Structure 1
Amino acid sequence: MATDHAQANAWLRQLLAEHSAESLHARLSADHTPSDRRLPLNPRTLERLVERRWQATGNDSDARAQLLDDKTVADMGAYEANIENFIGTVKLPVGLAGPLRVNGLFAQGDYHVPLATSEAALVASYSRGAQLITAVGGCTAMVIDEGVSRAPGFAFDNLRDAGEFVAWALQSLDALRAAGEATTRHGRLRNLRVTIEGNHVYLNFEFSTGEASGQNMVTIATEAICAYVMANAPVTPRYHFVEANHSGDKKASAQSFIGVRGRKVTAEVHIPGEHVRKALHTTPEAMVDYWRMSAMGGVMSGTIGVHGHYANGLAALYIACGQDAACVAESAVGVTRFEQTDTGLYAAVTLPNLMVGTIGGGTSLPSQNACLRLLGLDGPGSAHALAEVAAALSLAGELSIIGALCSGHFSRAHEVLARVRNNT
């Protein structure tokens, strides 16, 4: 996290040109004056509490009209389980990308995919890729694994005690499974991976979570397992934490390519050369050349996975459909691969960490549930299909952005769809 000395000196000179050293010191010193803008202690979504929060903000009438419109007031109760210190809702434009034809194990048919974003050109780009995929008969998509992990850590006095604890844990897997599964109707403990580091032990518990994304589910289940461990282990840990940062939760990690977190999905499409030229204004050869160079660029820059921009489409899909947007940090890890064939282009994506669900979380919120209904993927029985649609969407985005970079249209598209529109 070092900063180049010339850049650091330039920043220091800029600060000192605008402020004296004494004023900078004063600005950075603690201020113990009691705040006069405290929020009510009760975080619930109640009308009287919402009113008090707005009073604490200074009650900007224009801001209030935007965030607390009549529809939001009418639906206020629907947000109770999803937010604290509620003051309203934020509106993002939602666009449709598609049709996107998916020939999956679970997702079947043509989908118009709702994407919530403020980035001009994003929906147009994904829609272009989706239409290309549909024009050639659709992409094949397949959920190939699932599992959500939580990794508690346990500390001992020495390595000998840690080893004895691990031996007990391995022999007690059935009891640990029973303790965890007693907390949930849908979660099932599928696997346990053990890591010993000195006198620390990490137990990485992997659960299947049914139709839910499942992060809260596995946290509660793992907490119950930890309680069983503390009560029954022959060597009592000195201390423990329910998550010791070994599961990869909400971050890109090398573990993405070792196991699975969420749903692991792969999708592919074969595109004849004439479709590449007509839809993307480039050639299969140029797209493979770009993929080869960008893959090396990703390796040299230290990226985890090699792809163009999974995060763009996944973030827009997650926000629209009530997924945990922070999980884009891990979901947008994967590999894109292009190959030139005798007839055109082969393209594939593999995403091992798609954290999606169709029940729980934000999926029941009014707007987000409406987007899931537009997809026909709301409620039980749809989570695997949503994961396959997410992978197909990522494939569409890769085709479109790489096509734009190869044809020289990348900058022009942003200029036409963003800058010019904003100036107008």
Structure 2
Amino acid sequence: MPKLNSLRHDAPLDLHPALTNEQFSAALDPKLTPTTSLPLSAALNHKQVQKRWQQIDIRHARDHLLDPQTAQNMARYEKNIEHFIGTVKVPVGIAGPLRINGLHANGDYAIPLATTEAALVASYHRGCRLITAAGGVSAMLLNEGITRTPVFSFYNLAEAGQFVAWITTQYDQFKSIAQSTTQHGRLHDINVSIEGNHVYLVFEYTTGDASGQNMVTIATNAVFEFILAHAPVSPQQAFLDGNLSGDKKANSHVLRSVRGKKVTAEVHLPATLVKKYLHTTPKNMVEFGHMTTLGATLSGGIGVNAHYANALAALYIACGQDAACVAESAVGITRMEVNAQGGLYACVTLPNIMVGTVGGGTGLPSQKACLDILGLAGKGKARALAEVVAGLCLAGELSIVGAFSAGHFSRAHHKLAR
């Protein structure tokens, strides 16, 4: 009997052809032959764009990426891209309306989603219709904050302790320095973490209506330089970020704290609506949730959810957010219960929603258009956008759990993706 987890010697997958040792080495060895270099300048202007396409020299690719509208709007992308050659068109669908009853978002929202995955928009649209039929989702922004985490190393723990003793007297000075770099960011706390002779400082900011990652990097760098110039104990090594912030990485710390905007959202669904829209029962959906929660635990997952990443990626791309932040934003918890009336109670909590309505890609032509469809472009709208995102994720959780519970998941993909 073969051992579990052993490699199969009869596996049909052939990862590489039969090669001699010399051929194998030749295939993997570095190649130092000259290559054709693209223009060195990263500037965005017609002259540099033409130079890049002369080097690429693939006419049909140019026609698709540098279409007339993109060429006309070229200057709009200057602060968002280097070595520009054009734009990629991603299909955009609309889901909803989704009714949000939030502290900041209130109303019915048509939600643009950019994706190439068939069945995705249809699934979110179904979840939105179900929630709206029940009166909408209740959503509450719980907390917000962005972190940057400089790290310093010392010869020994005694030096690290002296450094921390000085750091604790400098909060007002650090806050003043940080504020001098930004009109909208606010440094509101600094936490200290000591690991042997290493000291991590966790700078926590609010960033207004911007997602704020560049903002907090610039502010923290100003404080970082002050520390290096004035600390009574000079560190042996120091780096602007020590990887404690969770930037673009899933991490468990934020389940109890926040990075970005932390939102929870809930809905009570009568059993009749569950049957009408999802073709299953609250009991089946709750049992599915119990078994898949155990599955998430066995797989070492951080949090428990079905597919937050689908909603987040599609909305982030459509609305000019930093799509790489899906890595951290997709951490959270989905929970379902049978309520006292025999209906379904469902809630989501997402502690890492990284969204803004100003700055970044939010002002680009297509992305601004999508925010306009939501009615959430510009100042004063970021908190509302975060509550809409949480409601959208809840809609997606209901739809996909319903599909699995009713045995329709594969059928939907066969119908829409073939």
**Into which bin does the TM-score normalised by the smaller protein fall?**
over 0.9
| Match runs of 1:382-397 below 5 Å | 382-397=381-396
How far apart, CA to CA, are the structure 1 residues paired with 2:212 and 2:97? Answer: 29
Aligned counterpart, 1:15: 16
- 1:378-398 CA-to-partner distances (Å, cap 9, x unmatched) read 000000000000000000000
Please list, as runs of the form range in 1=range in 2, the aligned pairs for 1:12-51 lying within 5 A after superposition.
14-17=15-18, 19-36=19-36, 38-51=37-50
1:16 Cα deviation (Å)? 4.0
- For the residues of structure 2 that align with 1:369 and 1:221, how far apart are their CA atoms? 27
Q: Deviation of residue 185 (structure 1)?
A: 0.5
Runs of 4+ in 1 over 3 A off after TM superposition: 7-14
Paired residue for 2:224?
226
Matched residues in 2 for 1:22 and 1:12: separation?
A: 23
Q: How does 1:365-404 map to 2 (within 5 A)?
A: 365-404=364-403
Alpha-carbon distance in structure 2 between the residues aligned to 1:160 and 1:396? 53
* Partner of residue 294, structure 1: 292
- The reply to whether residue 114 of structure 1 matches residue 112 of structure 2 is yes
Tell me which residue corresponds to 1:133.
Answer: 131
Following superposition of structure 1 onto structure 2, how do residues 269-280 of structure 1 map, counting pairs within 5 Å? 269-280=267-278
Which one has a larger percent helix, Structure 1 or Structure 2?
A: 1
CA distance in 2, matches of 1:115, 1:375: 11
Q: 1:221-240, CA deviations, whole angstroms, 9 ceiling, x for partnerless residues?
A: 01001011011111111121
1:82-93 to structure 2, matched below 5 A, reads 82-93=80-91
Deviations 1:65-86 (A, max 9, x none): 1000000000000000000000
- Give how far 1:5 is off: 5.4
Q: Which runs of 5+ in 2 are unaligned?
A: none
* Structure 2 residue corresponding to 1:328, chosen from 326, 329, 348: 326
User: Which of 238, 256, 259 does residue 258 from structure 1 map onto?
Assistant: 256
Candidates 296, 312, 316, aligned match of 2:310: 312
Cα deviations by residue, 1:39-79 (Å, 9 ceiling, x for unpaired): 1111011111111111111x111111100000000000000
Change (3 A) 1:53 1:7: farther
Name the SS for the 2:7 alignment partner. helix
Q: Give the counterpart letter for 1:370 in structure 2.
A: A
Give the drift of 1:13: 6.2
Taking the aligned partners of 1:406 and 1:237, their CA distance within structure 2 comes to 57
The CA distance in 1 between the partners of 2:298 and 2:334, in whole Å, is 16
Structure 1 segments unaligned to the other structure (5+ residues):
420-424
In structure 2, relative to structure 1, the CA distance for the partners of 1:374 and 1:14 (3 Å cut) is closer
SS at match of 1:185: coil
TM-score (norm 1): 0.95
1:74 and 2:72 aligned: yes
SS of 2:235 mapped into structure 1: coil
Residue 9 of structure 1, CA deviation: 8.8
Which letter maps to 1:15?
Answer: H
Question: How far, CA to CA, are the matches of 2:273 and 2:254 in structure 1?
Answer: 33
Between the aligned partners of 1:325 and 1:176, the Cα distance in structure 2 is 31
Cα offset, 1:296, TM superposition = 0.9
Deviations 1:279-321 (A, max 9, x none): 0000000000011111111011100000100000100000000
Cα distance in 2 between the residues matched to 1:11 and 1:229: 59
AA in 1 matched with 2:196: G
Distance 1:152 1:7, change over 3 A: farther
Please tell me whether residue 171 in structure 1 is matched to residue 169 in structure 2: yes
1:112-155: per-residue Cα shift (whole Å, max 9, x none)? 10000000000000000000000010000011100000001001
The whole-number CA distance in structure 1 between the counterparts of 2:24 and 2:409 is 43
Aligned partner of residue 165 in structure 1, secondary structure: helix
Structure 1 residue 342 displacement after superposition: 2.5
Question: How many residues get paired?
Answer: 414
Residues in 1 aligned to 2:375 and 2:85: alpha-carbon distance in whole angstroms: 31
Deviation at 1:12, TM superposition (A): 9.7
Q: Please name the residue that 1:422 is paired with.
A: none
Q: Which moved more, 1:396-405 or 1:4-13?
A: 4-13
Residue identity in the other structure for 1:26: A
* Distance 1:13-1:61 versus aligned 2 partners, 3 A rule: closer
Structure 2 distance, partners of 1:40, 1:127, is: 45
**AA matched with 1:371:** C
CA distance in 1 between partners of 2:8 and 2:54 (Å): 43
Q: How far apart are residue 22 of structure 1 and its match?
A: 2.0
1:202-257 superposed Cα distances (whole Å, 9 cap, x missing partner) = 00100000000000000000100101101111111112111110000000001112
Residue aligning to 1:342: 340
Q: Give the direction of change, closer, same or farther, for the CA distance of 1:165–1:11 in structure 2 (3 Å limit).
A: farther
> How far apart, CA to CA, are the structure 2 residues paired with 1:418 and 1:405?
17
Name which of structure 1's ranges 354-363 and 26-35 shifts more when overlaid on structure 2. Answer: 26-35
- Letter aligned with residue 177 of structure 1: K
Segment drifting more, 110-119 vs 43-52: 43-52
Whole-angstrom distance in 2 between the partners of 1:6 and 1:193: 47
Deviations 1:256-294 (A, max 9, x none): 123110000000000001000110000000000011111
Cα distance 1:21–1:299, how it changes in 2: closer, same or farther (>3 A)?
same
How many angstroms apart in 2 are the aligned matches of 1:229 and 1:195? 16
